[in-house]
Structure 1
């Protein structure tokens, strides 16, 4: 009887997986076909403007007529048609739009999660093809992870494309953002936020000793994962704050905090206790990174970096490796977040440390004077008043 139940559960699981794969295939195919349609429309209008001398005035007329002729079809506003023309002009050299959607490598993609489409299953493009001076802003590792541009473009949603077309003119950087959209499942709003914070300039910019303390593959992962500086503009702190206040504020906004850290971070604990030789030690923030398969220890400092911070972090990483790390886990990585740092100072401090450690700054843009902050109600106070008011009404 039990074997029958197990076989049924297995069948049910296989059917659910196949349905999800089918849904993902359909979504990817539909997205690629829609983009191809928009590209063709942009091309048709562009050619008429070039050959017939039609001006911009034709676009409002087209938008109006298409709305009347194709009332059931959305997406033909004046602005959207203008974006289609720009879409064609930006990618006019690509032949992907002449390919049948079925030829796209959909099967490989369905092996990945819906939320995060891994890049390593998509064919890689030679770095040499990305010819642009600003390519030096990106690390070699980041560029090597940019997949074939043609396939990459077809997997990005139209709303994300419109953001990239408007805000990112540099092609290698635009491809980098496309890659992040696929890997981290960024929505349009998240993409706008990340572009505004110039995340492409911050990725991998921290001071670290990863090259000497990790294997090549793990070091590349770490350098692509961590950034400098971290932008905590979602926090509201007094001009004078303690490290504990910073820690508590980050956890109050844990979703925004995790978004700024990047994909793959799983929160383990705050003030995580370690017992060593009958003494207790507390880690500010402990995470586990799912992709890197390792623990990440974060130490928060309200001032500038000091050399002794590296020794303390080395101690924490050793303790986590000994007490928490599974035999299949990679070495624990430490991240020291400071209000400021001298890069040369930090490099000297990490030079002979044997545990992988990075040093980054953080930026706070919403600062309240102490006297004003103390006069404002807390979230708890507001919730309490709201609850009491509701009870009185009832």
Structure 2
């Protein structure tokens, strides 16, 4: 090819602009799809409002309400086809009743904005109709509001929302907070301003595929976490970025390795994980203290915050942990992990036990 001759447009080395053009269309379609889903969420809310307001005109509201729902279902099905059964229309009615009476101040609008007009009640929505169908099953308004915030903030899929609800994320975060802190969870979601805000107890790692009673090594546990790193980052929560595994350092002739190293962008600090099978021992805490001191003195920069160390274990004695650590400890934490999703009863029992211990 002559030095002055341009390569053909379909030359292998000239494909970047094609990929860029295709990506623009993909992004636009994704935005359009989200906008359509959001528009339908607003529409269903307004249909619910119309039904409720019409019901209030009837003398026998229960009977008249059933007639209204049946009539709306019949008309919408005739005009628009499937998707407007009496059950679905009843869900729209419930949607309006639940979210028009939301007593918790809405903070999502300020954070995410909204391109669509507000509803007649001023309520704004940020998720798909399918998300709100799941959220409406939560009776506690604070808990429901928390999951709405976190779903919007984290871009949770429907599957991820269900998984976080099943794992009791709200309860696990609320456990270490006073009444004011729990109310703040409902208003703002998980706000990470201190090391304690980023810690969960327990961590639920059912996505690793390890049975609760199965025999496995710490190495296998670590490898499973790396294989499911995206899921693990979601479980860790906001601001975490993976830095490496088995990070090695040496004191004179002695070599040490930190199992997993992360960085939290919100806290601006390193977060070290040491994985322990069985019950946590005081020697394990001492070892983590050494790791934390090393990162504080040798690795972190002067403008970064002190390193956090998390001991992830199957069992722990909270009294022993408290006695081993200094009274003003803000750097080292011990948390249990579960390899199966707890049932609602198991989660309630566990949280009650933890509250009694505290």
Alignment TM-score, normalising by the size of structure 2: 0.69
**Residues 349-379 of structure 1: CA deviation (Å, up to 9, x unaligned):** 223576601110011239xxxxxxxxxxxxx
How far the C-alpha of 1:258 sits from its partner, in A, is 1.9
Contact kept? 2:195, 2:331, Cα under 8 Å: no
The answer to whether the aligner puts 1:68 opposite 2:78 as a matched pair is: yes
Report the 3-state secondary structure (helix = DSSP H, G, I; strand = E; otherwise coil) of the residue aligned with 1:154: coil
Report the 3-state secondary structure (helix = DSSP H, G, I; strand = E; otherwise coil) of the residue aligned with 1:203: helix
Partner of 2:172: 202
How far the C-alpha of 1:299 sits from its partner, in A, is 0.5
Structure 1 stretches lacking a partner, 5+ long: 1-21, 96-103, 112-148, 208-217, 367-394
Partner of 2:47: 41
Q: Distance in 1 between matches of 2:95 and 2:275?
A: 44
Contact kept? 1:273, 1:281, Cα under 8 Å: yes
**1:308-323 equivalences in 2 (<5 Å):** 308-323=283-298
Partner of 1:133: none
Q: Distance in 1 between matches of 2:37 and 2:85?
A: 19
Partner of 2:153: 183
Partner of 2:195: 222
How far the C-alpha of 1:224 sits from its partner, in A, is 2.5
Partner of 2:132: 161
Q: Distance in 2 between matches of 1:254 and 1:25?
A: 27
Q: Paired residues, what number?
A: 288
Q: Pick from 359, 362, 365: which aligns with 2:334?
A: 359
How far the C-alpha of 1:110 sits from its partner, in A, is 6.5
Partner of 1:277: 252
Question: Residues 26 and 246 of structure 1: is their aligned pair in 2 closer, same or farther, counting only changes over 3 Å?
Answer: closer
Q: Distance in 2 between matches of 1:162 and 1:93?
A: 16
Contact kept? 1:314, 1:354, Cα under 8 Å: no
How far the C-alpha of 1:188 sits from its partner, in A, is 1.4
Q: Distance in 2 between matches of 1:342 and 1:43?
A: 53
Contact kept? 1:204, 1:223, Cα under 8 Å: no
**1:137-176 equivalences in 2 (<5 Å):** 153-166=124-137, 168-176=138-146
Partner of 1:371: none
RMSD between aligned residues: 3.6
Segment of structure 1 superposing worse, 222-231 or 31-40: 31-40
Q: Distance in 1 between matches of 2:200 and 2:215?
A: 25
**Residues 73-105 of structure 1: CA deviation (Å, up to 9, x unaligned):** x7534443222111111133469xxxxxxxx95
Report the 3-state secondary structure (helix = DSSP H, G, I; strand = E; otherwise coil) of the residue aligned with 2:311: strand
Q: Distance in 2 between matches of 1:340 and 1:284?
A: 18
Alignment TM-score, normalising by the size of structure 1: 0.63
Partner of 2:210: 236
Q: Pick from 223, 229, 237: which aligns with 1:254?
A: 229
Contact kept? 2:258, 2:273, Cα under 8 Å: yes
How far the C-alpha of 1:337 sits from its partner, in A, is 0.7
Structure 2 stretches lacking a partner, 5+ long: 1-27, 115-120, 178-190, 342-358
Question: Residues 350 and 185 of structure 1: is their aligned pair in 2 closer, same or farther, counting only changes over 3 Å?
Answer: farther
Contact kept? 1:314, 1:355, Cα under 8 Å: no
Partner of 2:162: 192
Partner of 2:184: none
**Residues 297-341 of structure 1: CA deviation (Å, up to 9, x unaligned):** 001110112222221111101112233212332211110011011
Q: Distance in 2 between matches of 1:110 and 1:150?
A: 13
The answer to whether the aligner puts 1:80 opposite 2:88 as a matched pair is: yes
Contact kept? 1:94, 1:150, Cα under 8 Å: no
